[in-house]
Amino acid sequence: MLAIRSLRVGSCDGEFAAARYGLALAAGACVFWISLVDGPGVALAQESPPAEASQAGPTGRELGSTGPSPEVSAPSPGPLPPSAGQPPAGTPVARGESGVDSPTEATSGRRLAGHEFVLSEFVPPPFAITQVGLVTGIGFARLTAPEVDDFGERSGTASFSVGALEQIASFRVAPSPYFGLRATAAGIALIGTDVDSALTFGASAGYDLSGGALATAASGRVRLSGSFDVGLNRSYRFNLVDAIVNSVNEGKINRSTLLVSTKTTWISPGLHFAVALHDAVGVWASIGYRHEFTRTDDTKSSDGSLKVGGALSVDFNPVTPLPVGLLGTYAVTIPFADDAQKVHELTAGFLYTGRSNLLVGPEGRMTLSSLAPGVDLTAYEAIFGLRYFW
């Protein structure tokens, strides 16, 4: 759910919308290693101490006695061998192999019919969960657009590149297995990565606040849910070149384009479902409508879009000793505005799944879009985040 908002390049009026990027905080890695060390240990069989000799007095021959020799007590038996079908003590087993869920496995909220879903921020899942998450993102986007000479004729193709850095904090709480609340706060900074891009685009910064609710129910291997979210986005774009050009053209100082502020409020209802195909494999899908109300200085607009996505979750932990999971998602955003083009998003992830209450690992994402005829956007993203569940 990370996004680069409202990038404009030169005279191109298309919005440069790319999704958000990620690398984990160093603190995420620390918690990850601590969680491994602090995980449940393996109980080893202990041998019983030898039985103490009886102190009841002499039972053998007295001094000078000619009676029979005393009996010698048998040694204490050692530890019993493991029961049939049980692994020896100290043998590592995959989570869930014992057939009994641990307390964290039973309450993490993302388990369905034996499969514990590997979740993504890019396709909303249908689970009511209690979770805190921290994500630091980084990414790179390239925009190509027609280059026009002083006579208005196309003289070639111009290419611009922008880098982004973002921090996201998310919190979700599930008062019951059928209902959940969520809140997210994000901040982002963008700047051109070369001289031409920096002079043309300038720099931008912004924040995004959102909250929502979800109702869900499950039957067998299927879970369905409905959600409703609202959000506020504020972005600020600084461009000295635009301000100078406009001032020269008007013959007076024009500060209106030196710092441009954009405010966007949005609402988004959605439907989601998940299916557990196997203890190690699950799929889920989401469809949501988003309507935005945007104001840039004195200009107002209102547009809607439809986003449809699907995800594949693979967790090797239930069937092997490997504590890893794989994640793949695809989503397409279909805007309803005139001349707006579809946005395609592909994501792949490799995450640690050794503990039911922890998800940590990297994801990579690619975004493809045509913002206008001849104006193409390609974005590459990385995200490394930490999510802890109760």
The burial of 104, by beta-carbon neighbours within 10 Å (0-12 exposed, 13-18 middle, 19 or more buried), is given as middle
**Whole-angstrom Cα distance, residue 164 to residue 205?**
9
Q: State mean pLDDT over 185-197.
A: 89
In tens, the pLDDT along 321-341 reads: 999 999 999 999 999 988 788
In this predicted structure, the answer to whether residue 384 has a pLDDT above a threshold of 80 is yes
Cβ neighbours of 234 (radius 10 Å): 15
- What lies within 8 Å, CB to CB, of 47 at 6+ separation is 78, 79
Span 3-30+106-389: which CATH code? 2.40.128.130
Q: How far is CA 96 from the centre of its chain?
A: 24
CA-CA distances (angstroms) from residue 89 to 41, 94, 101, 291, 355? 11, 14, 19, 58, 21
Spell out a b/e string for 348-375, using b for 16 or more CB atoms within 10 Å of the CB, else e: ebebbbbbbbbbbbebbbebebebbeeb
Residues 161 and 379 sit within 8 Å (Cβ to Cβ): no
Give whole-number Cα distances, 308 to 173, 182, 206, 285, 335, in Å: 25, 21, 26, 8, 12
pTM of the model: 0.70
Q: Give tens-digit pLDDT for 274-322.
A: 999 999 999 999 999 999 999 987 889 999 999 999 999 999 999 999 9
300 in Cβ contact with 263 (< 8 Å): no
* DSSP secondary structure string for all residues of 79-117: PPPPPTTPPPTT----TTTTS---HHHHHSS-EETTEE-
Q: Which pLDDT tens digit goes with each residue over 13-48?
A: 333 333 333 333 333 433 333 343 344 433 333 334
107-129 per-position pLDDT tens digit = 468 999 999 999 987 888 899 99
Report the alpha-carbon distance of residue 145 to residue 150 in Å, rounded. 16
Angle at 268 between CA 123 and CA 130, to 5 degrees: 55
Average pLDDT, the chain: 77
Better pLDDT: 373 or 99: 373
Question: Residue 49: what pLDDT?
Answer: 44
Across 156-163, average pLDDT: 87
Report pLDDT for 104.
38
Residue 68's pLDDT is 47
DSSP annotation of 355 reads S
Cα separation, 381 vs 190, whole angstroms? 14
Radius of gyration for the alpha carbons in the chain, expressed in angstroms and rounded:
31
In the structure encoding, which two tokens stand for residue 166, read together?
């973002």
CB 208 within 8 A of CB 231: yes
How many whole angstroms separate alpha carbon 18 and alpha carbon 153?
29
Q: What is the pLDDT of residue 226?
A: 98
CA distances 314 to 126, 325, 328, 350, Å, are: 17, 5, 9, 10
Ordered DSSP codes for 310-331: EEEEEE-TTTSS--EEEEEEEE
Dihedral angle, C-alpha 183, 22, 344, 221, nearest 10 °: -60
Delimit the domains of the chain by residue range: 3-30+106-389
CA distance 210 to 290: 13
Q: Which of 67-71, 163-167, 211-215, 232-236 has the lowest mean pLDDT?
A: 67-71
